[in-house]
Amino acid sequence: MAHHQPELLKRLINYLDDERNDIYLHIDRKSTELRPEDFRSITRSANLFLTERLSVHWGGYSQIRCELLLLKEAARRRYAYYHLISGVDVPLVTQDEFHAFFERIDGKEIVGFARPAISGDELDRFNTYHFFQESIGRKRSALAFAERASLRLQHLLRVSRAKRYRRKYGVSVFQKGTNWFDITDGLARYVLSREEEIRKMYRWTRCCDEVFLQTLVANSPYFDRLFYRGYGSYLSSLRYVDWKRGSPYVFRDRDYEEIIASKCLFARKFDLSVDGRIVERLYRRLSGG
């Protein structure tokens, strides 16, 4: 999933250009920085597929739609694992190490969970209707005022979507975590088989790309197949992301040793305009330089 930083995205794709990989790329329809024609012939060994372009808005259901679109496109060819990363990720392991790792954990699901129980604020992401989130995104606008008024009214009326979903879909627990994942073909197809349920539950919600997969897994047999059963650790998703210093923090060169020590598969996020040296060092390390 990508929407900006073309040079960083090209570097990532070039590194993933391995005959063992197929790459599915979604470029946000709103993006003015990324042009599909710049990526069509960029790989030599990996197959690269450009998906339909959706207009993805921060916090809206379109983020979930985009993930489902990528899964659906990839599942047509059936793979052992499906890996979701962003265009501003940098790999932390070599391709040989990456493929050996997934052969070793065959059948385990890498889905990150934030905590044992979802908090009240997090429950509000989907317990009430966020009618204007797709239009608001991160912006402050008159619609944001209308959204707040709508939410206050729903609280007064004690609207509870979660209560209805517990009855209708048998959801016993709601969960939250990172939206980036590495899942098996079995779980991918299980998710796609529940697409209509996902749409009904998470349309008109806020930031539920961090909720829908965790909730689905937590209420299924796949929960027992998690690679890491802990909570709140980057080890549960094997993505090194720093939410303490930013939303998330953009890594700098001074963070190099910290990133390497994480033992994760990927780190994010990076920005060449903030610090390009850290990106160069990480890729140089992977190439043995």
Task: Tell me the pLDDT tens digit for each residue of 93-112.
Answer: 999 999 999 999 989 999 99
pLDDT confidence of residue 232: 87
Distance CA 143, CA 102 (A): 45
The residue written with tokens 């959204």 in the block is 147
Over range 229-255, report the average pLDDT: 94
The H-or-E segment that residue 266 falls in is strand 266-267
Look at residues 1, 29, 172 and name the one whose alpha carbon lies nearest to residue 86. 1
Distance CA 133, CA 245 (A): 25
Give, in order, the Cα–Cα distances in Å from 124 to each of 121, 226, 276: 5, 26, 38
Convert the pLDDT of each residue in 29-73 to its tens digit: 999 999 999 999 999 999 999 999 999 999 999 999 999 999 999
**Above 90 in pLDDT, residue 177?**
yes
Q: Is the pTM of this model over 0.75?
A: yes
pLDDT confidence of residue 289: 62
Query: Dihedral (C-alpha) 6, 264, 188, 15: value to the nearest 10 degrees?
Result: 40
Mean pLDDT estimate for the chain: 95
Q: In 133-252, where does DSSP find H-type helix?
A: 133-136, 142-156, 161-169, 185-193, 195-202, 212-218
